[in-house]
Amino acid sequence: MKNLLFWLLIAFSGPLFSQVIDIEHMRLDTENQGFAGSIGLNFKLIKNTRNLFAFGSTAYVQYRKNDHLVFFINNLAYQTVDDTENINNGTNHFRYNYYWKPKIILEAFFQSQYNSIALIDQRQLTGAGPRFVLQEADKFKSYLGTIIMFEHEKIKDIQPIYNDDWRLSLYLALRYLPTDNIALASTTFYQPRIDAFSDYRVYSHNSATIKIYGKLNFVITYILDFDVAPATGIPNTQYQLLNGISYSFD
């Protein structure tokens, strides 16, 4: 089994994980009590006219007891070409949920991240707000989140740029289970500044998870990232098509 996992990691390794974490896809099924989680890895080593090494990982751990749910996510990506670092980003995310009413969940979170490609030396987010259950059927689930958050970021430049802003974070999370072996998930975030709605970001995270064997899954992900006011020299729109594997536990 270990040999199979190793070769699947090599065969299916694709682009590295982005700064946008698939929080909704990971946490939609949270009925079980106690600990649960998942881990995913990517490796790539290529040697021809140039040497390329790439590594990506994501880990998710949650604990639920009655109406309380806490979870932590760590996401890392690193890539070098000819011993020169050209991608280095990571995110840590901690979130608490309280199931207050049958259709209302109160949540609070803290997130810290950095991304060399987007010139983000550091970005800290903290926020809270209600999460509404729109539908929870066996095959289809949908949620609407309305969060107010404070953002502190340091942008890499000749002279570092510091931003401190209040933003709304509105999201719609959908999950469809057409069969027992396939899960389709889509989450879209809209994050405007409260004092200037013309300054906003849109994230769309879409994935298809296919069960390979037991708790081992093959995952295809498409991410769209739009920022009206990114760092100087960074395009407004970025996107990624990822493939990899994950292993879940409970």
Task: Compute the average pLDDT of residues 123-128.
Answer: 95
Identify the weakest region by mean pLDDT among 1-5, 13-17, 32-36, 115-119: 13-17
Residue 43 CA to chain centroid, in angstroms?
A: 19
pLDDT over 90 (residue 19): no
Could you give the dihedral angle defined by the CA atoms of residues 250, 8, 28 and 242, in that order, rounded to the nearest 10 degrees? 160
- pLDDT digit string (tens) for 70-105? 999 998 887 787 777 666 788 999 999 999 999 999
